[in-house]
Amino acid sequence: MKFVSIVMGSKSDYTIMEESAKTLEKFGVPYEMIISSAHRSPERTKNYIKEAEEKGTQVFIAAAGMAAHLAGALAASTIKPVLGVPMESGPLRGEDALLSTVMMPGGMPVGTVAIGKAGAVNAAYLAIQIMALQDDELKVKLQEDRISKAKKVELDSSEIETIL
């Protein structure tokens, strides 16, 4: 089975990363979600990557705050795409997580999205887009979603437009 793997550095990330899960569910994309820390449980993280690949993960989404090395730890151990979601936490409110997620050495890419909820949603969309490269049904669902979003903008506008 092909699926997306969501890995969070701590339980406190769940309320934000639940948005990734909801987005994947909306498109019918299977996922699994675990907590594993690059620092506090490095062996668990490394073992999980191998297990997830054997089970069929296509894309990893990694969420962490503060030092945020989780996405980099995953990227170092897989050739599957890794999407990093910086969490808004600590005194820098996620800016440190953003920088440590995006500043990967050449040849070890992590696709990095926005801090927090918007990033969690966009990471799921990117995972779906990656999977849609080989799945025509997902491609159609993404196209329909874009059309729906465009129609919503027009509807919202028509509700506030006034004729002068």
Q: Determine if residue 10 is labeled as part of a ligand binding site.
A: yes
Q: For residue 85, what are the CA distances in angstroms to 5, 25, 27, 119, 145?
A: 13, 18, 20, 6, 22
Dihedral of alpha carbons 87, 19, 122, 73, sign: positive
Q: Determine if residue 40 is labeled as part of a ligand binding site.
A: yes
Identify which of 118, 14, 2, 9 has the alpha carbon closest to the alpha carbon of residue 59. 2
Q: Determine if residue 145 is labeled as part of a ligand binding site.
A: no
Could you list the residues known to form a binding site for substrate, using ranges.
Answer: 10, 13, 40
